[in-house]
Structure 1
Amino acid sequence: MGRIGAKLDIDFVVSTGDNFYDNGLNSQHDPSFRQSFTNVYKYRSLQTPWFSVLGNHDYRGDAEAQLSPFLRKIDARWFCLRSFIVNAEPVEIIFVDTTPLVNSYFLNPYRQTYDWRGITPRTNYITNLLKDVESVLRDSRAKWKIVVGHHAIRSIGYHGDTEELKSQLLPILKAYDVDFYINGHDHSLQHISDTNSRIQFLTSGAGSKAWKGSMRKQKREGVRFYYDGEGFLSLQFSKFDTRIAFYDVYGTILHTWSASKPFLQPYNTSTIN
């Protein structure tokens, strides 16, 4: 990943959640932050901002610890909020906190403990979140629109589609011509094209616990690429086009795809309230 980052001269890194296994951080002073982040991603090309969302495993610990500005004092690269916007013209990236939308975590059949501080009442949280996402996309003038969340909308991996996102988030993405939806959750690499819109669904959750050997036989329409092993994804944008590439853990290119569009300069961040 570091070698590819240097070759591409990357501007920033996106983390699709489940940042710390298995149960997030236990506090903002948890040594796991240094052990699993600072001490791992040492390559020079990776000394750039890391924009991260929370995954369901992050909510099993002290979720608010990952949102704390204190972590940025330890490692200035770290930037994690529940939902936020990164303007990296010609691209606008909307990071969405998807875990609260998933019903099973609240039914909790596996008796896991989740940190729902800041989420309850859940209905209000979800309503406001979806309204804010729609407002941002409606007002966006970016050439390329990307939405990032932890859970998949389309996946043929172990977890499969997330029905709550298909019913609540996907209609908004389609209405405002989102180009890419990027997620983690399934420990694989995937590229699925939506057959009814321009959306490309990209799964990049293969940082660990890969090789599950479970690919669903159903709902394979639009599938362009699936890889069950470890790896990562890159997106490059120029004035006129974009190119995505999936890599295995050694940096070997496994799949590429490109598209064209006309242009528009450095990123800044703002919070979705």
Structure 2
Amino acid sequence: MNTSISRRGFLRQSFAFSALAGLGSLPSLAKNFANGNASFNWLMIGDWGYERPAGQEAVAEGMRSYVKQHAIKADALLMLGDNWYGDLTGGVDSPRWKTHFEDLYPGSIFDCPAYAVLGNHDYQRMPMSKVDAELAYAKRGGTRWKMPARWYSFEFPSKDPLVTVIALDSNVPHAKAPQANSVNFTLTPEEQAEQLRWLKAELEKPRKTPYLIVIAHHPIYSNGPHGDHKVLIADWDPLLREHKAHLYLAGHDHDMQHLEFEGHPTSFVLSGGGGADLYTLKIEEAQRGPYAAKVYGFSHLQVAEDKLTLLHMDQTGRVIHGFTKTPDGKVDILQGIVA
């Protein structure tokens, strides 16, 4: 296992990204990340459905340009929560579904499912429940929006799957949680316990895929202002360790991060630069990394049988950080990337 809390702790690898030196952009050979092996591509964003959409529009434009410029077929989008800030009047019939989702991430470019999890801003009644609206929108015919339940799992692709994904609702009760009868709310303690039982049962199932990925809105560990999440550390982190999850993908802090911890099998990735106002880091990457930056952007995950590759991009589609990880847990930071 090659894990560390800083760049120096990683083996450096010479990769196709030598073409990136001085450019910070993806070469045209993007689809050859995995040395020609069968693979798929996901793009992910968190904290994106902002009331003042300038940041979201810029990131969405960068995503569209990125896949077109490099002829990348997006096989799925991951929407990492805080899908809707503010009012969603009309619920499933709100015009924001068109202006802030369908138009910015159009099916003509992203002809793929958009797997979504719930964030704390989704857990607001303004005045109706946005959670209920998001679950209902997923049931509409022809929609790309995938949220069959507040927590769910799937394998991808459907034929010869490479990855098992567990999507969780991280809006758990905690010491500073809002009251259940306020605009903001969380899962009840009973729902929290129900989800934890479900998670343990899912992880106990025999897994045939080479990779296990867990996605949720709140990070377990974060260098951002929200910091580490004590409840999730207690409830979920031991399970990630026990079952050797490869990635934990989250948002919530409005920045981009990649954290590794010595002896921990899981890489913690935060992609929270989807459009909401950015946050200043509380812990710099020099103290805990290998990467943390206050920047708008999105992430690109390619999964192949021999390794997965994750790239953080800024809002223009410029590569700002990347790493690979093998099924047995070896992590390598990609070289030739200009931050």
TM-score, scaled relative to structure 1: 0.85
TM-superposition CA deviations, 1:46-75 (whole Å, max 9, x none): 1211000111101103111110156633x6
Larger Cα-atom Rg: 2
TM-superposition CA deviations, 1:239-263 (whole Å, max 9, x none): 211111000000000001012238x
Report the counterpart of residue 276 of structure 2 in structure 1: 209
| Percent identity for Structure 1 against Structure 2 | 23
Is residue 183 of structure 2 the alignment partner of residue 113 of structure 1? yes
TM-superposition CA deviations, 1:14-55 (whole Å, max 9, x none): 010010112556522222222211122126331211000111
Aligned residues: 254
Q: Which runs of 5+ in 1 are unaligned?
A: 263-273
Aligned Cα RMSD in Å? 2.3
Report the counterpart of residue 312 of structure 2 in structure 1: 246
**Secondary structure, counterpart of 1:131 in structure 2:** helix
Paired AA for residue 86 in structure 2: D
Report the counterpart of residue 148 of structure 1 in structure 2: 215
Q: Which runs of 5+ in 2 are unaligned?
A: 1-62, 329-339
Pairwise CA distance, 1:101: 3.9
Report the counterpart of residue 297 of structure 2 in structure 1: 231
Task: Give the alignment partner of residue 31 of structure 1, picking from 69, 81, 95.
Answer: 95
Is residue 66 of structure 2 the alignment partner of residue 4 of structure 1? yes
Pairwise mapping of residues 1-273 of structure 1 onto structure 2 (< 5 A)?
1-6=63-68, 7-23=71-87, 27-42=91-106, 44-61=108-125, 62=129, 63-69=131-137, 72-73=140-141, 76-80=143-147, 81-88=149-156, 89-107=161-179, 112-114=182-184, 119=187, 122-139=188-205, 140-212=207-279, 214-217=280-283, 222-261=288-327
Report the counterpart of residue 269 of structure 1 in structure 2: none
Cα distance change of structure 1 residues 234 and 3 upon mapping to structure 2, 3 Å threshold:
same
Answer 1 or 2: higher relative contact order, Cα 8 Å, separation at least 6: 2
CA distance in structure 2 between the aligned counterparts of 1:218 and 1:254, rounded to whole angstroms: 16
**Secondary structure, counterpart of 1:246 in structure 2:** strand
Cα distance change of structure 1 residues 82 and 163 upon mapping to structure 2, 3 Å threshold:
same
**Higher mean C-alpha displacement, 18-27 vs 32-41:** 18-27
CA distance in structure 2 between the aligned counterparts of 1:135 and 1:3, rounded to whole angstroms: 41
